[in-house]
């Protein structure tokens, strides 16, 4: 990898990124920055943690001039990513200050309206950006550079028409940068319609198998939470993210972990933005060691030093699985990805295992104490602990699930 000095980055930016601790470029930075500086449109295909923000942010900061209106727009799918990207850009611009504003819903719009009058770079979600455009409280006529970050997720969430509407409000002659983990049909359509002969930069982000241990446990639905609690206590993670399929399940798992004396917090789109910000600040600071998250809320979050990823619910696709586990075992660190496989997870697990590059080891179920689980407003198992439970208590099907590629459709059961 090259050093940032070799990419002809401005001294003020070099000074800031060196203070942050950046010395050598990542692959996406090394390949993208020279193209962007040369005025090219770029499609960057890379995953979470690949350094995309610096890849587009450093050339952007060189291009934007102080006091000349909004010249750069970064569209992102979630509020958390808007906050994260804007904070990174502010760090990079320490010695060449720019007015950088995160714009998203869930918070008052009046303050944003006031701050937009002096902003030069805006990082926003599509919905709130359209609100401002309809109110005519934002002017995109001076945009020099437009970035679509996490484009595939943005389109999966149904924002493709909103993105098109926003792009139409920007000048025809601008640089357009698109970063995406996957190249979907919507990504191709956007690039064909709104990009000028883009250069494509592909960076394959593979999990280093020697640094990341992947395993799964077969467990009955009723005992999934008990096994989860046992694993957190025995693994003692420095930082762990537990993924659940729904907001309700995120809340219930986090509440029940708290009842067991485990310092866990939920993160999902149903929380107020102030609450989400506070939780993420505490997690980054190491005050919270366990985060229970939905995929949408966690998408794009770049959290360092995560030692454990636990899939309480199995994701629907291999790409989502890889996106989840890509948050651990970074920068040479060791990490674990543990999946809890119950009856309702078999179809999803079959989809994940259809990717032959994913090698998840079957783990022997430990003995663990069965714990009560309060379902809140929903009925379900709740009561006093009832002794210990281990692999001998599992059904024959759970002990011996179908082999890879042979998972049949099973009756669905609600599990928490």
Domain edge (last residue) among 202, 226, 253 = 202
Q: Are residues 134 and 224 in the same domain?
A: no
Least confident span in 77-86, 143-152, 207-216: 207-216
Number of domains in the chain: 2
Q: What is the spatial distance between Cα 224 and Cα 408, in angstroms, rounded to a whole number? A: 21
Q: Are residues 42 and 187 in the same domain?
A: yes
336 Ramachandran zone, left/alpha/beta (phi>0; psi -120 to 50) = beta
As a whole number, the mean pLDDT across the chain is 85
Domain edge (last residue) among 202, 222, 241 = 202
Indicate whether 263 belongs to any domain. yes
Nearest to 298 by CA among 247, 342, 230, 224: 247
Q: What is the spatial distance between Cα 111 and Cα 404, in angstroms, rounded to a whole number? A: 53
Q: Are residues 186 and 223 in the same domain?
A: no
What pLDDT shows up at residue 378?
42
End-to-end Cα separation, the chain, in angstroms: 45
Q: Are residues 107 and 132 in the same domain?
A: yes
Give the model confidence (pLDDT) of 166-201 as tens digits: 999 999 999 999 998 878 888 999 999 999 999 999
What pLDDT shows up at residue 413?
32
Residues 368, 388: contact at Cβ < 8 Å? Answer: yes
What pLDDT shows up at residue 284?
78
What pLDDT shows up at residue 279?
86
Q: Are residues 231 and 98 in the same domain?
A: no
Indicate whether 407 belongs to any domain. no
Indicate whether 352 belongs to any domain. yes
In this prediction, residues 249-274 reach a mean pLDDT of 90
What pLDDT shows up at residue 382?
37
| Structure tokens, 194 | 């709104």
Spell out the residues 6+ positions from residue 215 whose beta carbon is closer than 8 angstroms to its own.
336, 337, 338, 339, 360, 361, 362, 363
Indicate whether 180 belongs to any domain. yes
Q: Is the pLDDT of residue 242 over 90?
A: yes
In this prediction, residues 256-261 reach a mean pLDDT of 95
Q: What is the spatial distance between Cα 43 and Cα 179, in angstroms, rounded to a whole number? A: 6
Torsion sign (Cα): 91, 95, 96, 99: positive
Q: Are residues 41 and 119 in the same domain?
A: yes
Give the model confidence (pLDDT) of 76-122 as tens digits: 999 888 998 999 999 999 999 999 999 999 889 999 999 999 999 99
Give the model confidence (pLDDT) of 329-387 as tens digits: 665 567 899 999 999 999 999 999 888 878 899 999 899 999 999 887 543 333 334 34
What pLDDT shows up at residue 300?
53
| Structure tokens, 350 | 């079959």
* CATH of residue 236: 3.40.50.300
Q: Are residues 384 and 348 in the same domain?
A: yes
Q: Is the pLDDT of residue 22 over 90?
A: no
| β-pairing verdict for 335-341 and 361-362 | unpaired
Indicate whether 331 belongs to any domain. yes
198 against 268, higher pLDDT = 198
Q: What percent of the chain is modeled with pLDDT above 90?
A: 61
What pLDDT shows up at residue 390?
47
Q: Are residues 97 and 218 in the same domain?
A: no
User: What pTM was computed for the model?
Assistant: 0.65
What pLDDT shows up at residue 405?
37
Residue spans of alpha helices (H) in 168-240: 185-194, 224-235
| Structure tokens, 50 | 């690949």
Residues 105, 79: contact at Cβ < 8 Å? Answer: yes
Q: What is the spatial distance between Cα 176 and Cα 191, in angstroms, rounded to a whole number? A: 9
Indicate whether 101 belongs to any domain. yes
Indicate whether 45 belongs to any domain. yes
DSSP 257-317: HHHTT--EEEE-TTS-HHHHHHHHHHHHTTS--EEEE-HHHHTT---TTB-EEEESS--SS
In this prediction, residues 259-274 reach a mean pLDDT of 88
What pLDDT shows up at residue 135?
96
Q: Is the pLDDT of residue 48 over 80?
A: no
Q: Is the pLDDT of residue 298 over 70?
A: no
What is the extent of the structural domain holding 130? 4-202
Indicate whether 207 belongs to any domain. no
């Amino acid at each position: 990898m090259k050093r940032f000095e070799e990419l002809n980055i401005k001294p003020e930016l070099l000074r800031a990124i060196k203070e942050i601790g950046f010395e050598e470029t990542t692959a996406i930075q090394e390949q993208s920055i020279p193209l962007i500086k040369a005025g090219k449109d770029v499609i960057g295909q890379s995953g979470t943690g690949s350094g995309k923000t610096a890849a587009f942010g450093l050339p952007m900061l060189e291009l934007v001039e102080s006091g000349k209106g909004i010249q750069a727009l970064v569209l992102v799918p979630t509020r958390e990513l808007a906050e994260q990207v804007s904070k990174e850009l502010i760090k990079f611009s320490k010695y060449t200050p720019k007015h950088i504003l995160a714009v998203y819903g869930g918070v008052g719009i009046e303050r944003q309206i006031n701050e937009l009058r002096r902003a030069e770079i805006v990082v926003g979600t599509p919905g709130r950006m359209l609100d401002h455009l309809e109110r005519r409280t934002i002017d995109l006529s001076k945009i020099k550079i437009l970035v679509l970050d996490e484009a595939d997720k943005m389109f999966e969430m149904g924002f493709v028409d909103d993105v098109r509407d926003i792009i139409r409000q920007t000048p025809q002659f601008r640089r357009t940068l698109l970063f995406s983990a996957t190249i979907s049909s919507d990504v191709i359509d956007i690039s064909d319609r709104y990009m000028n002969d883009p250069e494509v930069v592909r960076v394959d982000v593979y999990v280093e198998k020697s640094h990341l241990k992947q395993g799964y446990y077969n467990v009955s639905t009723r005992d999934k939470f008990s096994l989860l609690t046992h694993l957190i206590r025995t693994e003692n993670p420095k930082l762990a993210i537990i993924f659940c399929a729904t907001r309700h399940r995120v809340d219930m798992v986090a509440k029940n972990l708290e009842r067991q004396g485990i310092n866990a917090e939920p993160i999902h789109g149903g929380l107020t933005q102030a609450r989400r910000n506070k939780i993420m600040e505490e997690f980054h600071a190491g005050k919270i060691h366990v985060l229970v998250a939905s995929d949408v809320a966690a998408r794009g979050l770049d959290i360092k030093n995560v030692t454990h990823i636990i899939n309480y619910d199995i994701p629907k696709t291999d790409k989502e699985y890889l996106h989840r586990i890509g948050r651990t075992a970074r920068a040479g660190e060791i990490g674990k990805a543990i999946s809890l496989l119950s009856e309702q997870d078999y179809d999803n697990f079959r989809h994940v295992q259809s990717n032959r590059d994913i090698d998840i080891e079957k783990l022997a179920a430990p003995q663990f104490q069965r714990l009560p689980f309060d379902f809140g407003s929903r009925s379900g198992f709740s009561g006093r602990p009832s002794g210990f439970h281990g692999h001998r208590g599992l059904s024959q099907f759970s002990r011996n699930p179908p082999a890879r590629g042979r998972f049949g459709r099973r009756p669905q059961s609600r599990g928490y």
